[in-house]
Amino acid sequence: MRASDTAEIIFESCRIPQENLLGAEGEGFINCLRVLDGGRIGLGALAVGIALGAFEASLNYAKERKQFGKPIASFQAMQWKLATMKMEIDAARWLIYQAAERIDRGQPDSRLCSIAKLYSSEAAVRATNEAVQIHGGYGFIKDYPAEKFYRDVKVCTIGEGTSEIQRLIIARHLLGKSGEKT
């Protein structure tokens, strides 16, 4: 994520010629919200990719790293960590696929996009945390990829709406905008 340059842009007294208007006047915010569904899928896919990288690095490391004369992958605790990582990555991937397929069919589902983004980003945080744990002390050394995955993944729970915003969107779809179940 260090290559992603983020900056603030401020427009003051900015006038846009009518021929450069995108969409209908006064509907900019609504159009912006519609774009967020696709962005959430993209960010969720990024989270899945980071989690998968962390998983693959951990799997390889666990097969190579020896403790007490055998690979740490032979220990049940490591096996369970790897199994959980893979399970959550696969579940996240399928949620992203399902949300993307709905958009491709012209039937966007904001609730599903929020679920997919929320689950995949939080699963990726868990996966990268476990990757650092599996790597032990090497998990924080820049010579190993676990450190980079762990550092980079956090933006996935922030960008395109924080995890808290995703939960709010999901709850509003479940309960209706007033908060009362519909």
> Catalytic site residues?
160
Beta partners for residue 67, in sequence order: 70
Is residue 143 classed as helix, strand or coil in its secondary structure? Answer: coil
Contact 77, 136 (CB under 8 A): no
Following DSSP, what letter does each residue of 6-19 receive, concatenated? ------SS----GG
Radius of gyration of the chain (CA): 20
Element (H, E) at 43: helix 28-64
Tokens of 37: 């569904």
